[in-house]
Amino acid sequence: MSSELSVSVNGERRTVARGTRVREVLNGIPSKDLVAAKVNEKVVDLSRTLESDATVQPVLADSPEGLDVIRHSTAHLMAMAVQQLYPGTQVTIGPVIEDGFYYDFAPKTPFTIEDLPKIEARMKELAKADHKIERVEVTRAEAIKTFDAMGEKYKVQIIEENIPESEVVSIYKEGDWMDLCRGPHVPSTRYLRAFKLLSVAGAYWKGDEHNEMLSRIYGTAFASKEALDEHLKLLELARTRDHRKLGREMQLFFFDPISPGCPFFMPKGTIILNELLDYVRRLYRRYGYSEVVTPQVFRNSMFNTSGHWENFRENMFLSPDPEEDDERANTVDTSPEGWRRGYGLKPMNCPGHTFVYRAEKRSYRDLPLRLAEFTGLHRAERSGVLHGLSRVRLMHQDDAHIFCREDQIEDEFAGNIEMVRDVYSSLGFEKVEFKLATMPDLHLGTEEQWRAAEEKLANAMRRNEIPFEINPKEGAFYGPKIEIYVPDALKRKWQVATIQLDYNLPERFGLTYTASSGAEERPVMIHRAILGSVERFISVLIEHTGGVLPFWLAPEQVRVLSLSEKVESYAVELTGLIRKAGYRAESDIRNEKLGFKVREAELAKVPYMVVVGEREAADRTVSLRKLRGEKSQALTVENLIEMMRKEPLPA
Ligand SMILES: [Zn+2]
Ligand SMILES: [Zn+2]
């Protein structure tokens, strides 16, 4: 074995001795920026030694991989602080998540938000003390013995359940503290300069509600104080823009325990919902979709055919069959064979749409057939995951199913991608990101069919000149899909739309069409939604805009504010004129100061505030103040209405 290795560093080849530390081949990079390295594309500690020829790249503090290393190391730092401050607390797992990390502890009493400053202060001390972080490898048996002696029963369980007998176990030491961990980590604690603990929550061990409740602490960490402050500012903004809070202030919707997870849309919220649906309807006319209305309740036998009974019934609201005449009439049978009786509320539109397809004989000339539906969908989400409008039990989707021939797939995907771009740019989202989710391990059909289908989806994106990432193995079991994400004003990313290819349902429901040759062929089915759940989309839109919706979507577009009692009748008349022109207008003729009325209208996010006093009444003019900061301007009534007509309307 040669004692010399050939190493490529940032594209440059050089020769180093076997056993050289990764850190040494990366000299020249300021140490505070360098937190780890990629050796043959795998992120490792800087202290690792090189044992074979390799490609080495630096992992800098502010790169995505670098941030992961910093965040996970900060989770360790937090666990160290916690165990010093609260002896007897056991550690469990502490992964990195989007924008931060958490660690689940088993403390004697659950942590509260009041504990966080103390823990954070100790973390700062530990970071300053610059404890070296060292990787040690031990046998599995040794690791179990060590953690057992420390009273860490969760760690013992993790090793016993997840690590094979023969495997070496890595432990990271930090001063006199240690944790079971795969790593990698920063070289020492002084690399952790910018972190913040954010919140506490209860979490079940292994996410299973039958297990004991642990105490989870969330935090975040960045490469620099500036980046952390920037992020905290966005978090604060997100709090003030929380759609549940704005929804109440703007009188859009509310929830009541009488129907958990099902929103009550108030008149103003209903306007937003309907305007969005009308917008999609206008697009449907342009893109050749037909709207249908199908039942809410179906016999469970349909859900058995579609596969929902097998895979989804615990997320469905089920009902017995009132017409059954034996004692089973009043009971719901949720067993695997239970589909033979009873009804279910539809959680999705797809199975119902296969019946619409089958209602007539279809020929190749009828395809593509694009069926759209907006009716409500019920899903029995657990109460623990319900969250405002973003996770509900009753939703409306701009859902459509396209039945087409194999040779039409690419065009249909391309058309939908175009629609996605149309919708999101007109709704004020600057960027849309696309991913292609490919064949999962569990799948129907052959690999060859999958690769061909994936290629069609990729082509549809290339035709639209859309850059996309691959989301490996994340397709549905019945076909690949395109996932669409939008980053909002708070730099959060939402998955909104999907376009999925499905060979499965047409097969299960025996759908056919007559081909030009006269033979009976099977169509394919494309499931697509552009806004997705309209409820969830509204929550994203409210938080993205802070409630300042575009003029066409604003529930109250105009508010007429009177300066005094003398102009009351003019204000009321004016409101009537604006309504007659087709806009949503209200008047505020209360005997209050103008400043007060303006503040209220601003809180309600009314885009046009029309102020009228005696001079305006005499000249039949108005003084317009717009919500978005422009100065007030004097206009005639005709000019005002003309101005509203010029407000952009999508599609
Ligand atoms: Zn770890
Ligand atoms: Zn569907």
Cβ neighbours for 645, distance < 8 A, ≥ 6 positions apart: none
Question: Using CA atoms, how far apart are residues 164 and 143, in angstroms rounded to an integer?
Answer: 13
Q: What is the pLDDT of residues 233-284, one digit of tens each?
A: 989 988 899 999 999 989 999 999 999 999 999 999 999 999 999 999 999 9
DSSP element (H, E) containing 286: helix 267-287
- What is the reported pLDDT for 533? 94
User: pLDDT exceeding 90 applies to what percent of the chain?
Assistant: 78
* Alpha carbons 131 and 35: distance in angstroms, whole number: 15
Q: Is the model's pLDDT at 37 over the cut of 80?
A: yes
Residues of the chain with pLDDT > 70, as a percent, come to: 99
Question: Could you tell me the distance, in angstroms and rounded to a whole number, from the CA of residue 527 to the centre of ligand 2?
Answer: 4
Mean pLDDT value across residues 172-189? 92
Terminal Cα-to-Cα distance of the chain (whole angstroms) = 69
Q: Which residues contact 395 (CB under 8 A, 6 or more apart)?
A: 376, 377, 379, 533, 534, 535, 536
Measure 525 CA to ligand 2 centroid, in angstroms. 9
388 C-alpha vs ligand 2 centroid, how far in Å?
24
Q: Which residue has the higher pLDDT, 513 or 325?
A: 513
Exactly one of 57, 90, 397, 500 is catalytic; which is it? 397
Helices (H) and strands (E) counted in the chain, each on its own, are: 19, 34
Which of helix, strand or coil describes residue 5? strand
| Alpha-helix runs per DSSP H in 56-152 | 64-85, 116-128, 140-149
CB 484 within 8 A of CB 494: no
- For CATH 3.30.980.10, list the domain ranges present in the chain: 68-227
Q: What is the domain class of 68-227 according to CATH?
A: alpha beta
How many whole angstroms from 132 Cα to the centroid of ligand 1? 15
Q: Which residues surround ligand 2, an ion (CB under 5 A)?
A: 350, 527
Question: Would you give the DSSP letter of residue 389?
Answer: T
| Ligand nearest, relative to CA of residue 93 | 1
What predicted TM-score, i.e. pTM, was given to this entire model? 0.79
> Residue 649: CB partners within 8 Å, gap ≥ 6?
552
107: helix, strand or coil: coil
Name the packing angle between helices 64-85 and 116-128 (round to 10°): 110
Ligand closest to the CA atom of residue 96: 1
User: Which member of 401, 435, 443, 528 is catalytic?
Assistant: 401
Which bound ligand lies closest to the C-alpha atom of 79?
1
Tell me whether residue 397 is one of the annotated catalytic residues. Answer: yes
How far, in Å, from the CA of 480 to the mean position of ligand 2? Answer: 13
- Contact call for residues 516 and 255 (beta carbons, < 8 A): no
The per-residue pLDDT of the chain, averaged, comes to 92
Query: What is the Cα–Cα distance from 423 to 425, expressed in whole angstroms?
Result: 6
What pLDDT does residue 329 have? 67
- Which of 396, 481, 528, 605 is catalytic? The answer is 481
The domain made up of 264-296+346-545 has a fold known as: BirA Bifunctional Protein; domain 2 (3.30.930)
Q: Element (H or E) spanning 487, and its range?
A: strand 481-487
Q: For residue 169, list its beta bridge partners.
A: 138
Q: pLDDT tens for residues 377-414?
A: 999 999 888 999 999 999 999 999 999 999 999 999 99
Q: In sequence order, what are the residues at sequence separation of 6 or more whose Cβ sits closer than 8 angstroms to the Cβ of residue 232? A: 196
CATH 3.40.50.800 occupies which residues in the chain? 558-645
Active-site residue, selected from the candidate residues 72, 527, 528, 597? 527
Which of 616, 10, 369 lies closest to 624, judged by CA?
A: 616
Query: Do the beta carbons of residue 135 and residue 129 sit within 8 Å?
Result: no
* Domain at 558-645: CATH code: 3.40.50.800
308 annotated active-site: no
Residues 282, 297: Cα–Cα separation, whole Å: 28
In the reported structure, the alpha carbon of residue 180 is separated from the centroid of ligand 1 by a whole-number distance in angstroms of: 6
Give me the catalytic one of 399, 488, 502, 588: 399
Neighbours of 347 (CB within 10 A): 20
What does the block give as tokens for 420? 């996605």
How far is the centre of ligand 1, averaged over its atoms, from the C-alpha of 470 (Å)? 28
Mean pLDDT of 175-187: 92
Start-end ranges of CATH 3.30.930.10 in the chain? 264-296+346-545
The label of the residue with tokens 């969908």 reads 377
Distance CA 185, CA 191 (A): 10
d(CA 291, CA 645): 29
**What does the block give as tokens for 474?**
């994340």
Nearest to 454 by CA among 400, 499, 515: 499
401 assigned to active site: yes
**In angstroms, what CA-CA distances link 382 with 216, 389, 391, 647?**
20, 14, 10, 42
165-178: buried (b, 16+ CB within 10 Å) or exposed (e) per residue? eeeebbbbebeebb
Tens digits of residue pLDDT in 506-563: 999 999 999 999 999 999 999 999 999 999 999 999 999 999 999 999 999 999 999 9
CA 91 to CA 180: how far, in whole Å?
10
Ligand 2 center–CA 502 separation, angstroms = 9
Contact at 8 Å (CB) between 634 and 622?
yes
Residue 325's pLDDT is 73
The reported pLDDT for the residue numbered 464 is: 86
- Compute, in angstroms, the gap from residue 570 CA to the centroid of ligand 1: 70
**Residue 12 pLDDT:** 86
Which fold, 4-60? Ubiquitin-like (UB roll) (3.10.20)
State pLDDT tens for residues 1-34.
568 899 998 888 989 999 999 999 988 788 778 9
Is 527 known to be catalytic? yes
Q: Which of 252-266, 287-301, 447-461 has the lowest mean pLDDT?
A: 447-461
- Report the residue count for the chain: 651
What's the whole-number mean pLDDT along residues 86-99?
Answer: 93
